[in-house]
Amino acid sequence: MPSLSSISTALQAVLTHSQVLEITGHNVANASTPGYRRQSAILTASTPTAITGADYGIGAGQKGGGVMIARIQRFNLEFFDGRYRSVSAEAKNWEAQSEILNQLEATLAETSDDGLLPKLDQFWAGWESLSSDPTNTSLRGVLLEDASSLAMAFSRRAGQITQLRSDQNQVVVSQMDQVNSLADQVAKLNGEISHVLSIGEQPNDLMDKRDMALDQLADLTGSVSSEQKNGEMVVSIGGHVLVVGHDAIKLHAQSGNIVDIYWEDNQKLNPPSGKIKGTLDVRDRVLVDQMNGLNTLAAGLMLQVNTIHSGGFGLDNSTGNDFFTGTAGSEASSISVNSLLDAASIATSSNTGQAGNNEIALQIAALKSAKGMKANTVTMNEFYNAQVTDLGVTTQRAADNTYQNGLVAKALGDQRESVAGVSLDEEAANMAKAQRSYEAAARVLNAFDEMLDLVINRMGLVGR
């Protein structure tokens, strides 16, 4: 006759393998869920019991207690997480730089006919044409138009760079808000996870959510995290703690011409990598260098042209007139053709009353090849061409680094997925195995049921 412990063992097996099927179903349901880490039931034999009572002496040893789930394992490797987040953050750093630099290149349009270099060449060509026929009013009018077009090209580029830099302020604030939100989420999950662990349970799904938040934090800031004994994560950025226990340190923005991010203790945020670093690097370095270069070129153009032009004479014998006007310190955005000039007052002659004298026009035309920039080492065209070339090299380097780091991040992500991701083929095999075990345990229960039916309902019927 089966004992209650035997029936309990069979029932425990049915319930255990039913839970295994539930866990497998949970894996299958989340096979495409971002950040989900597959789970597995770790089975172990129940604690055996001594043979007592009527069963004593029937067999040696102890009676097994059947099967039970020791724990639900979550497949995850912190080593992979740390490496992946580090490389992914660097890839996001270069990606952010590449996106802004591509916008800048499109804004400058230096590979088109609307580039600043073609307009400079057109301006020099206008003076050269005028030098061959100084009294030609049509050529004088064309020169004024070319000069105005050149000044507008400077102003347009300066305005677009200023606007692009201002746009990054909004991007930085948005990224900071994401960091604060994710930090709050990690802190809240820390509390929930430590509580579940303290009562002896495994908060696998909560850990998945926290890991996703940590991935996103690393992409934004290059943050690093370390797990404590109680299961909580400590998160830091560049050595400054962002999340500790159930508390998240808030970041705030200080506005002005540029927006910078500060900690609660008013230390400036200096992320080692990530999207925020990439955005700040381009905003505060590349865009500033481009604007300074434009201002330097515009200042050099005004100085060199005005120095020559103001000493010459126009057809109306006017003299002492600057050709360009502009404001010191913001030359690129303010440069314009002197509003007092007209076709007749453009100075081409070196002496009064000599309409056919072209010496001033020739001197200004010669500025195209004059080394008047960077301590008289390069021409104006060479100066700007070098600036555009540097921008092209910087943009290409950002694209290359985005690609290379992206490849490494993808490889590490694939490795992490191979360990922690859900394989539907593997889950199908596990499902079949658990199903067979469930069916076998159920048949044991059926066998015990038949034995009990025999003892209870059919014994003692002989002779009736």
pLDDT digits (tens, 9 = 90+) for 86-112: 999 999 999 999 999 999 998 888 878
Instruction: Give residue-wise pLDDT tens across range 424-439.
Output: 999 999 899 989 988 8
- Closest by CA to 367, choosing from 356, 381, 355, 357, is 381
User: Average pLDDT of 3-21?
Assistant: 82
Q: Is the pLDDT of residue 293 over 70?
A: yes
| pLDDT value of position 1 | 47
Question: Residues 226, 233: contact at Cβ < 8 Å?
Answer: yes
The Cβ of residue 238 has, within 10 Å, a number of other Cβ atoms equal to 16
Contacts of 404 (CB under 8 A, 6+ apart): none
Q: Is the pLDDT of residue 460 over 80?
A: no
User: Average pLDDT of 378-403?
Assistant: 95
| pLDDT value of position 450 | 78
| pLDDT value of position 446 | 83
Q: pLDDT tier at 57 (50, 70, 90 boundaries)? A: low
- Closest by CA to 303, choosing from 343, 335, 333, is 335
Instruction: Give residue-wise pLDDT tens across range 331-354.
Output: 999 999 999 999 999 999 999 988
Comparing 78 with 100, the larger pLDDT belongs to: 100
Q: pLDDT tier at 358 (50, 70, 90 boundaries)? A: very high
The span from the CA of 235 to the CA of 252, in Å, is: 18
Q: Is the pLDDT of residue 22 over 50?
A: yes
Q: Is the pLDDT of residue 289 over 60?
A: yes
| Percent of the chain predicted with pLDDT > 70 | 95
Task: State the burial class of residue 355 (Cβ atoms within 10 Å of its Cβ: 0-12, 13-18, 19+).
Answer: middle
Q: pLDDT tier at 9 (50, 70, 90 boundaries)? A: confident
- pTM score of the predicted model: 0.86
| pLDDT value of position 93 | 97
Domain positions in the chain are 4-75+422-458, 83-176+269-407
Cα–Cα separations (whole angstroms), residue 275 to 6, 75, 95, 107, 445: 61, 29, 7, 22, 60
42, β-bridge pairs? 71
The span from the CA of 305 to the CA of 310, in Å, is: 8
| Percent of the chain predicted with pLDDT > 90 | 72
What is the signed CA dihedral for 236, 238, 240, 241, rounded to 10 degrees?
0
* Across 21-30, 235-244, 249-258, least confident range: 249-258
Instruction: Give residue-wise pLDDT tens across range 27-46.
Output: 999 999 998 999 999 888 88
